[in-house]
Amino acid sequence: MLSFDTGDWLPMIEGNYDFHIRIAQAGRNQYYAGFYKRILEEGRRMLYFHSEFLFKSLGSTVERLNQHHREMVEAILIQDADEAERLAHEHARQFKGDFLEYMERSITSKMRIAS
């Protein structure tokens, strides 16, 4: 599935996209699902750029990255909408934080201060 040696992140990224698009479609709101699809497509690009950073610099694992997904499914199965929403918000916040950390490290690591 995922090869750390070759950096083949596409299966993980596509699995993440499929998971989130199915959640959006399950809501049966075509406007929302279409809007969310566009957001997910941008997120897919961002995840591709910083996947190696997630695994090598932050020490993430597939299991750790999927924890929020499992918890969201559990909340949906027991029909706890508030918990599912809280978990989705936390998941989005984590993605944003990880991506911003990647950008900060990537940009600042290439900067040199002249003396």
Q: How confident is the model at residue 15 (pLDDT cuts 50, 70, 90)?
A: confident
Tokens standing for residue 98: 């990880």
The pLDDT value recorded for residue 37 is 92
82 part of a folded domain: yes
19 part of a folded domain: yes
Model-level pTM? 0.74
Q: How confident is the model at residue 58 (pLDDT cuts 50, 70, 90)?
A: low
80 part of a folded domain: yes
Query: How far apart are the C-alpha atoms of 92 and 95, rounded to whole Å?
Result: 5
Do residues 49 and 102 make contact, with C-beta atoms less than 8 angstroms apart?
yes
Query: How far apart are the C-alpha atoms of 102 and 54, rounded to whole Å?
Result: 8
3 part of a folded domain: no
What's the domain range around 20?
10-109
The pLDDT value recorded for residue 1 is 46
53 part of a folded domain: yes
Mean pLDDT, to the nearest integer, of 11-37? 90
In the block, residue with structure tokens 């929020």: 68
The pLDDT value recorded for residue 67 is 87
Q: How confident is the model at residue 109 (pLDDT cuts 50, 70, 90)?
A: low
Tokens standing for residue 79: 């029909």
50 part of a folded domain: yes
76 part of a folded domain: yes
Q: How many domains does the chain have?
A: 1
2 part of a folded domain: no
